[in-house]
């Protein structure tokens, strides 16, 4: 058992294994797009911008589109009455490693038509930028910040693009990228030194750091609630008392 644990820790110290550098298998479209009105409409209106489509998990339609026209396409999906995707459920990212593009993924739902759709935009590693959709769905605000923080994708036009999970001055990169070491890029000693050297007043207001007076809770009898009759139990009836 000890040998197994040691070998596991040694593997962590050695860092992540290299991503599969073999070429990705050729991707082709699957499913009949006529089964999903929005997929069919995308192929008709933006035929040159749709890279492929796929039906997964039985009923989840996925469409890969050109990221350079992502805002135009997403805006049309939201505003066109026959599409009406009024809910942006999620914005996330996927890194396959091996030098392959990082994908920005949009999960949408139309409450008007009870219809879901997923769009994916592949971004080359030397052009990790895409237009923000915060102007279309406010829910994309923090979601885009998370993708920026963890994957390194820049969302052009975002009103407040900064890290949301890692510190603003985090210098080790983007933790959900395939090339990110399991223990970070710095040694444990350097990570500890940086943590101890942080100026907490950069993250908290001075008044929030001041210790306040301890809160006092008024003692009450068991089974009662202070200043209220709520929660009290009725007194037991006297012997012989009529019901």
Centre a 10 Å sphere on the Cβ of residue 233 and count the other Cβ atoms it contains.
7
Per-residue model confidence as pLDDT tens for the chain (243 residues): 455 444 455 555 555 555 554 555 568 889 999 999 999 999 999 999 999 999 998 899 999 999 999 999 999 999 999 999 999 999 999 999 999 999 999 999 999 999 999 999 999 999 999 999 999 999 999 999 999 999 999 999 999 999 999 988 889 999 999 999 988 888 989 888 888 888 777 766 677 667 666 667 676 655 554 444 445 555 555 555 555
Q: Which CATH entry fits the domain spanning 29-196: 3.30.460.80, 3.40.50.10470, 1.10.10.60, 3.20.20.150?
A: 3.30.460.80
Residue 58, both tokens: 């039985």
Buried b or exposed e, range 183-197, using 16+ CB within 10 angstroms: eeeeeeeeeeeeeee
pLDDT of residue 225: 47
pLDDT of residue 167: 86
pLDDT of residue 226: 47
Tell me if residue 226 falls in helix, strand or coil: coil
pLDDT of residue 213: 66
Of 5, 19, 14, 9, nearest in space to 179 by CA: 19
Of 67, 2, 1, 57, nearest in space to 30 by CA: 57
CA-CA-CA-CA torsion for 59, 141, 66, 50, nearest 10 degrees? 30
Residue ranges with strand state E in 149-222 = 154-156
């Amino acid at each position: 058992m000890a040998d197994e644990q040691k070998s596991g820790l040694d593997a962590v110290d050695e860092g992540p294994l290299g991503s599969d550098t073999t070429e990705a298998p050729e991707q082709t479209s699957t499913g009949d797009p006529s089964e999903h009105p929005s997929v069919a409409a995308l192929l008709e209106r933006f035929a040159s911008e749709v890279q492929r489509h796929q039906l997964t998990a039985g009923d989840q339609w996925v469409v890969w589109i050109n990221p350079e026209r992502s805002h135009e396409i997403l805006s049309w999906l939201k505003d066109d009455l026959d599409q009406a995707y009024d809910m942006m459920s999620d914005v996330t990212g996927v890194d396959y490693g091996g030098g392959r593009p990082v994908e920005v993924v949009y999960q949408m739902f139309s409450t008007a038509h009870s219809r879901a759709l997923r769009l994916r935009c592949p971004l080359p590693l030397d052009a990790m930028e895409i237009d923000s959709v915060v102007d279309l769905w406010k829910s994309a605000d923090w979601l885009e910040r998370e993708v920026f923080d963890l994957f390194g994708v820049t969302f052009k036009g975002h009103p407040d693009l900064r890290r949301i999970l890692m510190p603003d001055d985090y210098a080790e990169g983007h933790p959900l990228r395939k090339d990110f070491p399991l223990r970070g890029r710095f040694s444990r000693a350097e990570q500890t030194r940086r943590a101890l050297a942080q100026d907490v007043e950069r993250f908290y207001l001075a008044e929030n750091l001041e210790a306040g007076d301890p809160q006092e809770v008024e003692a009450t009898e068991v089974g009662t609630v202070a200043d209220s009759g709520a929660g009290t139990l009725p007194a037991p009836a006297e012997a012989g008392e009529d019901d």
